[in-house]
Amino acid sequence: MTGAPGAARPAAVGLDLGGTKIAAALVGADGTILARHTRPTPGEEGPEAVLDALAAATRAVLTGGCQDPAGVGVAACGVIDPVGGVVRAATDRIAGWTGAPLGPGLAARTGLPVACDNDVRAAAGPELAALDDPAPSLLYLSVGTGIGGAVAVDGRMLHGCAGIAGHIGHLPVPEADGLPCSCGGTGHVEAVASGPGITALYGRLGGSAAGRLEDVVRRADAGERAAADAIAVGARAAGRALGGLANALGPGHVVVGGGVPKAGARYWSALRRAFAAELMAPLGGLVPRPPRHGHDAPLLGAAALVTALPLHQPPGGRI
Ligand SMILES: [Zn+2]
């Protein structure tokens, strides 16, 4: 992956498309955010309305500022094919989103070249670019409502067939045996180690009703055994999956981000212990760590996509 934020290039627009919100930024040549905009994702109105909203967010950050950006980079959840510019698979949070022509559709609406990728992979871009290594290998996991990931080997971000590489949440682990997963399969790590997965496990272990992971964390901190066990099992499942992947891919760096690791020390110690238990000897000493970049990482990574990925050009050329 090239295109580190701050590399010599003109300003670019970064868009972060989530199920409920679109965040937009104009990112300058030095990686600073020059303008911001957010608006709701009109997910129930279908793909045309979402593409219209992405175009409106692009115009909003260009108003009064740079009128000649290098292009627009879009980070979106789901399986995104950067080459075809198409959404290959998505949850139903956006109606009819699977198959949407994300790259070409936004290029036609904005008159600007557009690059697109999965949101977790985009967020991993700045993390990869910041590593002090000319050809780093990175395993990046994001644990939140779902579990996403990104893999870079020898300095190159892997996209794989249909852009699906990095969907680490759908690795089988014994802790999730028999549990239904968001992808339609069963027994995948996301089913037990995501925020909802840990919360549901807490209930199965006998915990009282907990609507959110924060409730489980609070009860664990107060000494409740079922809550502490649920967090430890989720963290162990994530660590086990990461350790096995590390043996397969040989990363020099392992990063775990997202909201769930904010559960704190009990989460990290269980994850690191399970990870270390899986490692083959040459990887000894490799320890998962939190990301260096904060909540702007998807926006910065999205803007950087325009120098790293194929650009989808507007029909008739750039306006
Ligand atoms: Zn799955």
- State pLDDT tens for residues 99-118: 999 999 999 999 999 999 99
Q: Which CATH superfamily is domain 12-123+296-307 in?
A: ATPase, nucleotide binding domain (3.30.420.40)
CA of 228 to the centre of ligand 1 (A): 24
CA of 182 to the centre of ligand 1 (A): 6
94 burial via Cβ count (<10 Å: 0-12, 13-18, 19+): buried
Extents of the domains making up the chain: 12-123+296-307, 134-283
CA of 147 to the centre of ligand 1 (A): 9
User: Which residues of the chain are under the pLDDT cut of 50?
Assistant: 1-8
Beta-bridge mates of residue 289: 255
CA of 117 to the centre of ligand 1 (A): 20
Amino acid 65: pLDDT: 67
CA of 164 to the centre of ligand 1 (A): 13
CA of 181 to the centre of ligand 1 (A): 5
Task: Return all residues near 64 (Cβ < 8 A) that are at least 6 apart.
Answer: 35
Closest CA to 226 of 198, 202, 260: 202
CA of 165 to the centre of ligand 1 (A): 14
CA of 16 to the centre of ligand 1 (A): 23
177 burial via Cβ count (<10 Å: 0-12, 13-18, 19+): exposed
CA of 172 to the centre of ligand 1 (A): 8
**What dotted CATH number matches 134-283?**
3.30.420.40
Identify whether the C-beta of residue 263 lies closer than 8 Å to the C-beta of residue 228.
no
Amino acid 8: pLDDT: 43
Using the structure block, give the residue that is written with the tokens 């793909």.
Answer: 47
CA of 163 to the centre of ligand 1 (A): 16
Task: State how far the alpha carbon of 236 is from the alpha carbons of 75, 141, 153, 174, 217, in Å.
Answer: 29, 14, 25, 10, 16
CA of 185 to the centre of ligand 1 (A): 5
Identify whether the C-beta of residue 207 lies closer than 8 Å to the C-beta of residue 219.
yes
* 134-283 and 12-123+296-307 share a CATH fold: yes
CA of 179 to the centre of ligand 1 (A): 10
CA of 237 to the centre of ligand 1 (A): 14
Q: Over the stretch 162-183, which tens digit does the pLDDT of each residue have?
A: 889 999 999 999 999 999 999 8
Structure tokens at 229: 């066990």
CA of 159 to the centre of ligand 1 (A): 18
CA of 86 to the centre of ligand 1 (A): 21
CA of 259 to the centre of ligand 1 (A): 19
